[in-house]
Amino acid sequence: LLNPDQPLESDAMISHAWGEDMTQVEEAIIDFSRRAGNGGDDLVIWFCLFALYQPGDEEGDEGPTIREQMKQPPFPPFESVIRSPHLRGMCLAVTSTKEPYERLWCVYELAVALDIMEQKKKEGDARGDDFVVVEFSRKAHDDYMKRMQEWASEKADAANIDVHTWSETQSLSAEQLYYLNKVKCQDAKCEKPEDEARIRKNVEEGWGWERLNRLVADFRRPAEKHAAEKGSASLL
């Protein structure tokens, strides 16, 4: 709306949970942009908060409504952006106040993006390895690290060994194991029942929940790398 004469192709898409702390969302996006190259100053971002007309559902507003915008063919706007050949990748912004894996739209966006990431890897596309990334606010990062450490300690205590020994006996990283055990995409919810029914149908006919949960755990960047970037201790 602000740039109708010279619209730009999106370099990146932001997926977020809504209802979260927007200051933390801003922090996560800034960190993501800085890592994207050239300081992020010329990075073109598609962010639904600004890219879609939001007040269309309010009484007296001429629209378009969100539902009308979501019905644009051939795909909903977010999916069209993710499938754009120009897109460099999608960033899932995580804050301490809202869990994105509990919002079904986030889960669906992630499913589409991870599917495309797999395709790009098979095609040898250089964007394949980092097409989908997670960016935490510092508070969210610290909270996640604490939860993962506590979960790993519980597992180690149950095995009557220290946490480092427990970690060394696992075939997957502690972070992957945490997500496999704690994140259940099928438990995510959607505000509108008709949206939830449609998304669940698409996932069940496409990826399936078990495969999607595994993809979510497997694509995560190692916790130790992200911890170093945030200037804090490693997971274990």
**Per-residue model confidence (pLDDT) at position 191:** 85
Opening angle at CA 109, ends 107 and 112, nearest 5 = 110
CA dist 181 and 79 (Å) reads: 28
pLDDT for position 15 = 93
pLDDT score of 39: 60
Q: Residue 200 in contact with residue 108, Cβ under 8 Å?
A: no
Q: Which helix (H) or strand (E) holds 116?
A: helix 104-122
Site of tokens 């190259």 = 37
Rounded-to-10 torsion of CA 218, 221, 224, 230 = -150
Question: What is the per-residue pLDDT for 200?
Answer: 94
* Mutual angle of helices 104-122 and 209-219, in 10-degree steps: 70
Strands 45-47 and 12-15: parallel
Fill in the amino acid letter for 31. Answer: D
What is the full per-residue pLDDT of the chain (236 aa) written as tens digits? Answer: 667 788 888 999 999 998 888 999 999 888 888 877 656 678 899 998 888 888 888 888 887 888 788 777 677 788 899 999 999 999 999 999 988 999 999 999 999 999 999 999 999 998 888 899 889 999 999 998 899 999 999 999 999 999 999 999 998 888 888 888 988 999 999 988 888 998 999 999 988 999 988 888 887 654 444 544 555 444 44
